[in-house]
Structure formats: C-alpha cells, structure tokens
Structure 1
Amino acid sequence: MRGLTTAYLAGQCHGKLIGADQPITGIFNILKDAKKGDAVIRHWIDETGVEIASSKGASCVVTQDARNSALDIAQKLNIPLILTEKIELANAFAISWALETFAPDSLRIVVTGTNGKSTTTHMIYTILQEAGYITHTNTDSESEFNTLIDPMVAKQIAEFKDMDAVALEVSEVQGWENRNMKDHARLMTSAIQPQIVVLTNVALDHIGLVNTIEEASKEISGVLDGFRGDFVVLNHDDPVIRNMQQLVPSEAQVTFYGSHTDVEYQEPGIFYQDTLLIPTEDLPFKSPHFIQNTLAAVSTALALNINPNIIKKAVKSYQPLKRRFSILNTDPLIIDDFAHNPDGIKATINSAAQLTSGKLHLVCAIRGSRGTSLNQLNAQAVADAIKGIDYNLILTSSQDVVDNANWVKPREKKLFIEVLHKEGINYLHCETLSESLEKALKSTKKEDTILLIGAQGMDPAASILKDMINQ
C-alpha cells in the first residue's frame, strides 16, 4: 500500500491508533485470509483474533469493538490496533483505495434498491463480459458481498487486480447487532465513485433498520447525493424511484426503463425506441420481476453504447444466479427463489402460478431472527398472493439447517401464523426443512408445481431435494 501508514488509516476512518505508526504493505483483508503486511478489518475482535492477526504478520487491525483483553494482547504483541466508532468508514476507505490502486481507470457501475439488485448487477456483468470488458462483480447467489461490515469488496478488487470494469451491488440499508448503518448506500457509492448508478425499486425489507417506505427511499436515494458520474438509470414503473429524477445532479443524464420509456417490455419482447431488440422467446425467464431486471441491465448497456447485438446475445445466453427463479426439476416442476420480502414474495408466487397447470405447492421458510414486523408483512404477502389459486401451503422454521443468527423465534412463528389464520389461509407447519420438502414431494402430482421461497432458511433446499429425488 504505497505510502499508507497506520496513522493515516486511523485518520481516514476517524479512529484512534493504539500502537506504532508504521507502513501498511499488503491489502485490506479479512482475518481468515490475512497475509503478511495486510490491514485486517473486522467489526469485532477479541484476544484470539488479535493473536491470529499477529501470527499472520498483519500490519494492523481495524475494529469497532475490541473485546475482552484484545487491547492488552495487541500492545503485548506490538501489533497496531485502530479503534473506530464506525467500521463502515474503514471499509469505505478500503474500497476507494483498492479501486484507485488496482483499477484507477475502470468503468464503475453501482446497482441498488430493495429488490432485483443481484440479478440486475449480474446481468450487467454478463453483458460487459460479452462486450469484451474484463469485469469484476461482487454479486453472488447469497448477496453476501454487498455490505460495509467486512472488507470483502476491497479484498476481491485487490486480488482481481487488472480489470476494465466493475459492476457492484450495493445494499440499500445495512446494520449489525441492532445498529443501523445510516447512509450505507451513499457511503459505499461515494467510495466507489461510479460513472453509472442503477436504482431498481423501493419496498420494505429490512424492518428495524428502516420501518417505512419513506425511510427506505431516503436510504436508497442517498446514492445520488454528491453523484458525479454520467448516467442515472431509473425504474419508471416504480413511482418512488421515478420521482428521484429531481435528485439527480444536472450534470448527469437520466435514463428511464419500463412502461412508456425508450426501453420497455411488450408482449413480443423488449423494445428499444419502438424497435424490437430482444424477442420474448430469447429471454431466459418471462416472469415480471426478471423482465424488470433485464430492462435495467439493457438500459445500462445502451447508455454505454454497447452494440445491441452484443446485448441481445448476452441476455439470450444469460445463466441466472442460484435461487433466482431457478428450475430444480421439471417433472414435477420445482422452482426455487430467494423471495424474502413482501414485494418479492408476491411477484414470485404470481409468476409460478402462471406456469402451473395444476396445484401450486408453496414451501415457505419463515425468516428467523428478523423481527415480527417483517414476518407479519411476509405472511400477509403470502396470503394475498395465494388467494384465488389452487394451493398447498407448507411453512417451515428450518431448524435442521439454520444457525443461531437465523433461528425462527417463537413469536416470529406465532405472528406469521396469526396472519394466515386471520386471512383464512390453510397451511401445514414443519419445524425442519427436510420434513417440509418431503411432504411437498409426496403430495405433488406431475401437473403440479412446487415453489420454494425464503432466504437463509431455504438456501439448502436444492441439495436436500436432490438427495430425496435420487433415492
């Protein structure tokens, strides 16, 4: 890290340096992967973690929470420790430094919003790759690398090194241990300094961090605060996102996608300026929320003047992320989706219902340790979506596969079920994911469809089902 020292880093993250001012010669890294000279960033650390960092030859440790005897051990081992009140400041600096060091001239694209971030980002990445850009993205199937809690983005960029472009998904809100990281999207976007930002939609998801659409909107629109790039791509079909046009700096160009815009979907396919660009039969999925993500990616690529034929080829050959309306089986049809908030749940159930000629068997994982409000909203979304269709609803607490951070608490389960009772929805509850999947399989006919929805509690379902089907 040319010219970077522990004292300078402490100043950048508004932290207090405990120990010597010395050069930092490696990259920003997580504790597990740290190498000699690296700066370890960890939101909390105890004496064991400090000992590990020292044994690996780390230049320093940056943390928000030094537990037990961490400070004493750091001083004893002569490893500088930086205490900051906001760990996200350290991680934001790390991202900025990594980009300026390893990809200073790169094209940078940021995607944020409540739903559709991962698929949109991954599709933009796919189009850029097809167009010849050496591209890096932080999007993965579980969306674990879009936060400022750990230095994963900075680490990935430093290890990738030579790249032409980055397409980065930014979490719209973030927090840990009951602390809201206010201005998360703004802070991360400011660190990236993108030429293009893409805003997908505004809905409620992280209840407790934001509790109203207005709060969610404020966090998401933060990416426009101080934006100095070229293009802002907005979802015209979301009225909250559409109204963010007034927040876009005058120097930037606004590009809309969706109904009554230059990039819209009609029954024959995706049109650009009234000319058919991608026929419906060439779209990997035809569900409304996937089409919205595709429109966002196509609009971004067109703003970059990428050849329409390249865009068409990339979309046609696109391989979606895991658990994004993934087809696990065809006889019977089994669909797996990460739907985990009200809007995502409704859209996914509606899309699956259109595909089945029989009954829809919905296996829904209750979200664990996310509070009662979100689970009540999710339950209401399930109830609203399955009314009027032939359904078999199976709930699961997934106790056989989740850790303590995702354990379904009794009150979360109780309130989820109370909503279903109030709405007159019949259901079966299984404590384990395995039991819920087994019951769904046994009750399904060939013409039926099984839809799996939920976040962490449903993640292992594909592998469990594979074993069951192969038995």
Structure 2
Amino acid sequence: MKEQEFKAVVIGGCGTVGSLMARVLKDNGVDVTVSDLSTDSPQINILEEEGIKLNLGEHDENILKNVDVIVVAPSLLQNSKLIGKIKSVTDADIISADEILSTCKVSKPVVGITGTNGKTTTTWMLKNILNLSGYRTPEHKLKMQGNTELIPSFQARLDGDIAVLEIGTHGNPDEIKNCALKSEVGIGIITNISKDHLSGSHNFQDYINCKREIVDVARCLIFNADDPVVTGFSNDTSHKVFFYGIEGIDSEIEAYPETRECPLCGKELEYSLHYLGHLGVYKCSCGFKRKEPDVKAFDVKNNSFKLVIGSNTAEVKLKQAGIHNVYNALAAASGASALNIDFDDIVRGIESFEGVKGRFQKVNIGKQVIIDYAHNPAGVKAIIQTLIREKPETSRLIVVNTVSSESGITGDIEIAKILKDADVIVVASNASRKASSKINVDNYVILTESSKKASKIGTLGASRAQVEESLNLAVNEAKKEDIILIIGEGGVKYSSEILGKFKN
C-alpha cells in the first residue's frame, strides 16, 4: 500500500502508545485523526503541534466511515463492545500496533541502552552529543521513562536522524530481546549489571540473562570493561565489541567494594582495584580478566577526568559530579565514537550536559536539597559516594529514604546499611522503616508516623503523604549548611511540588 494515500483513525490515540502510533503514521505520510473519549490528556498539545486532527469526547461515525484503516490502541483491542461498534459502522480494516511496526520500518541508526543504573543519564548525554553535532534524535515526549514494551519501538520510528533508546526490564525473560528486535537496535550499550528486580521467583542469574538479551540483537556492542558481569558477555558473541573503563582514579574516593563470581568458572574474582561497588580491575585463576578499554578515563576525580579515545585526548569537566557519572560519560562517548562523531563534539556534548530531572537534581529552598532516583543498592552507593566526597566537613548529610526495593526486604536492608554513612536518616516508606529496624545504626534515624502504613503501588515505594511528612521533618531538622538528599521514585515524583512551599 502507498501510505501517503491513506487516511487513518487512531482509536485511543491520546494514550501512551496510541499517541506514538498516530505520530509514526503521520511521519510516514498518513492523514491521521485521533479519536478518543478523553478530552484531557498531556498528549493533546503534542498531537496538535504535529498536525494530527483530533476527535475528542466521542468516536464520530462520519469520521470512521471515511477512512481506509482503523488503528486501535493495544489497551482497547480486547474491548469487544468498541470493536463491535466500529465494525457496525465501517468495513475498513482494523489494525494493531504490531502491524504498524511491521509496515513502518526503521530507516535510521538505532542505539539501545540497557543496564541496571545509568541508562537514563547515558541516553540523554548521548543525545546531547548528537544534537550538538547537528543530528536530530526522535523523542517520545511522554512524561515517563518509557523504556519498556512498545514505547521504544515506536520512538525509533519517529522523525529523526539517529534514535537513542533507553531499554529497561522488569526482570522478565524476552522483554529486552523483543523490544530491541522491534526497535531494530544496531548498537547496544550495557552500562552495568547489579542486583535489582530480585523479588519473588527472580534470582540474580535470571536478571543477568534478561540484560544479556540485547547481545543477541545488536550488531555492535559497547560494554563496561570494569563490570565483570557485563564483560563476560563478550565471550559468547561474534559481533564487534567495544569496551570503556577507568584507568586511574583518586585513591581517596570511597568505593564501597563488592565482589563478584567469575562468569566463566564461578569462583570469586580477585580485585586489585575497586572503583564503585563491583566495578574495578579484576581477574580469575581460570584466565578470565578485565578487558583493555577502547575508551578510557584517566586521572578520575569526582567531577573531572582525562578522556582518551584512540590518539585523541581531552580534559573533561562534568556538571554532574560522581564516579557513576564518569561511567555514564564514558558510555555516551563510546556510543558517539561508534557513530563516528567528531572527538571535539563528544567532549563538548559531555561538558555541556546539564543532567536529567530526578538524577542528582538540585533544588534551592534556602537549604541544599538534592533529589535522586537511586532506588537500588548500587544506585544508592553511587550517590552517597559522590556526596560524602563533596560535602564540607561542617555539613551533615540528611537522607530522606522513599525507596521500596524491587528486591524486597534484602535490598531494603542493604540500602539501610549503605545509609549508615549519612548523619541523619528520615524514613518515608514503610519498607525503609522495616529495614532500619533490622540493623544497628549509630546515626540519627527519624521515623515518620505515616511510614507505619504500607503504601507501595507498582514501583512507587512511598505515597505523597509519606513524602510530604518526611520532607517537613527533614527541612526542619536541616541547618543552612546541611545537605538534604531525597532518594527513590516517590521522592522524584512528589518532592519538587512539595518543596515549592518552602521557597516562599
């Protein structure tokens, strides 16, 4: 079919996937109308800006009768009453999301970024490099991460020159593989793999296997050489693999060392250096060892390093401090290098990157407040490592814990142990309250009244009321020179709005 001759109605087009289907069809020359019972959606303005016609509050039969195809959002395909009504009005074909994906092919390079931590920051940093180099990157424009299921697949098909996609997982088999296949990922980046999503029947090896799935899809792979779990994947692929890693670091930076088992023989690895958690320089008696990086960071400090790619060298200063952000910068630089981006543009893109909302996000209320999405032990280690190194000796670190770990009580207890380096802990979530009661702590723990009640919804560990009570206590506790750190998804979702009242 010649798509430019077609008229289509997208039923449910104001929803998450429905809006992306409409935009992809529009970009492929289809005359698109979105029909949705909703009249209030954040996607409406986006659809209007892209020239998509809207039929809101109803499904106008006259519109349905005069189109070539009816596209139904995935959430509505099983609505027999709706499908019956459509069929009673028109003989037009009813098509699904998968049919659009198979018809509208990807015609651009696609980079897929996965891993436990650093996906979002690496994704946006790489996009910043590409944008400064003159390349357009398609955006889903959703007020969410949008890194699972169909969202990345449609994002890859939106108008742009190079697609950079964050690809996540809930720890279920085939999620990443199917997403990468449908997105037609050509370059795959794995940032790191640490323990997450281990509740219920999931174990760490299952989670590793999920993350490994991108290896079977991407033709070019970029691995963190300092992560033995990720490096182990290089032994069972014939595709081209590039490595990035740290070659020298400030010895005074606390690494919170962990060990890992050799991915080849299962013995405990021997580390000569730890950089952050299980990331470092390692080897095994069986012969497995850290790979030589292609993209390197020398003289690493909390917010600067020397970047080396081949014969090119530059001093790089980060606007977002932390060893974890050095790794994010190396991953982004590696992706850009694989896309043949000029070295000077890579440096410029890294240094000008302002960060991502909810990732080391600073809020000024007359006291220092930082909001961070850190929600698993590795992520919490990274942010605590950064702040302990940066904060003045006279300042206290006050942590508001809104986390409810995806690895259950084991993950919550591990996070509580890491937070022993803070001066004051304010427990917002019920999970953090339970975890704090199971360890011996020398620091000052403030238990909120609302944390007595469990209120986890999906991955959201704390309710708005719990976050608000904990923030009131933290702000009242903090002196001007102290730092308030808010961790967890609940903190990211609610804190900015709640903190607004303290600015006045």
CA contact (8 A) 1:325 1:335 kept: yes
CA contact (8 A) 1:278 1:312 kept: yes
Letter in 1 for 2:166: E
Pairing 1:24-423 to 2, within 5 Å after superposition: 25=8, 30-32=13-15, 52=58, 57=64, 59-61=70-72, 63=74, 66-67=78-79, 69-70=81-82, 72-78=84-90, 91=97, 94-95=100-101, 97-100=103-106, 104=107, 106-138=108-140, 142-143=144-145, 145-148=146-149, 151=151, 153-154=153-154, 156=155, 160-161=158-159, 163-173=160-170, 180=172, 182-208=173-199, 211-227=202-218, 229=219, 231-248=220-237, 250=238, 252-260=239-247, 261-267=293-299, 269-272=305-308, 277-280=313-316, 282-329=317-364, 331-357=366-392, 358-367=395-404, 374-387=407-420, 389-397=421-429, 413=430, 416-423=432-439
Give the secondary-structure state (helix, strand or coil) at the position aligned to 1:361. strand
C-alpha distance in 2 between matches for 1:141 and 1:355? 31
| Residue-by-residue CA offset, 1:140-160 (whole Å, 9 max, x unaligned) | 7741x22225x5752x566x5
C-alpha distance in 1 between matches for 2:418 and 2:9? 51
Alpha-carbon shift at residue 61 of structure 1 (Å): 2.2
In structure 2, what is the equivalent of residue 87 of structure 1?
Answer: none
Gap change, CA 1:384 and 1:223, over 3 Å in 2: same
| Residue-by-residue CA offset, 1:206-229 (whole Å, 9 max, x unaligned) | 3458722211111111112243x3
Give the secondary-structure state (helix, strand or coil) at the position aligned to 1:468. helix
C-alpha distance in 2 between matches for 1:79 and 1:456? 47
Q: Percent identity?
A: 24
C-alpha distance in 2 between matches for 1:331 and 1:390? 21
| Residue-by-residue CA offset, 1:5-62 (whole Å, 9 max, x unaligned) | xxxxxxxxxxxxxxxxxx7746797454667757999xxxxxxxx9956667471425
C-alpha distance in 2 between matches for 1:184 and 1:375? 21
Alpha-carbon shift at residue 186 of structure 1 (Å): 0.7
Give the secondary-structure state (helix, strand or coil) at the position aligned to 2:437. helix
Alpha-carbon shift at residue 78 of structure 1 (Å): 4.6
Alpha-carbon shift at residue 461 of structure 1 (Å): 0.5
Alpha-carbon shift at residue 72 of structure 1 (Å): 4.2
Q: Which moves more between the two structures, 71-80 or 344-353?
A: 71-80
Gap change, CA 1:382 and 1:38, over 3 Å in 2: same
CA contact (8 A) 2:10 2:71 kept: no
In structure 2, what is the equivalent of residue 408 of structure 1?
Answer: none
Output the TM-score relative to the length of structure 1. 0.74
| Residue-by-residue CA offset, 1:275-333 (whole Å, 9 max, x unaligned) | 784435x2112211111111100111122232211111111111211011111128532
Residue-pair matches, total: 399
Gap change, CA 1:391 and 1:78, over 3 Å in 2: farther
Output the TM-score relative to the length of structure 2. 0.69
Gap change, CA 1:30 and 1:202, over 3 Å in 2: farther
C-alpha distance in 1 between matches for 2:58 and 2:201? 36
Letter in 2 for 1:204: K
In structure 1, what is the equivalent of residue 457 of structure 2?
Answer: none
| Residue-by-residue CA offset, 1:244-278 (whole Å, 9 max, x unaligned) | 11232x2x321101135232333351331587844
Long gaps (5+) in structure 1:
5-22, 42-49, 84-89, 175-179, 398-412
Give the secondary-structure state (helix, strand or coil) at the position aligned to 1:306. coil
C-alpha distance in 2 between matches for 1:170 and 1:377? 25
CA contact (8 A) 1:359 1:447 kept: yes
Give the secondary-structure state (helix, strand or coil) at the position aligned to 1:446. coil
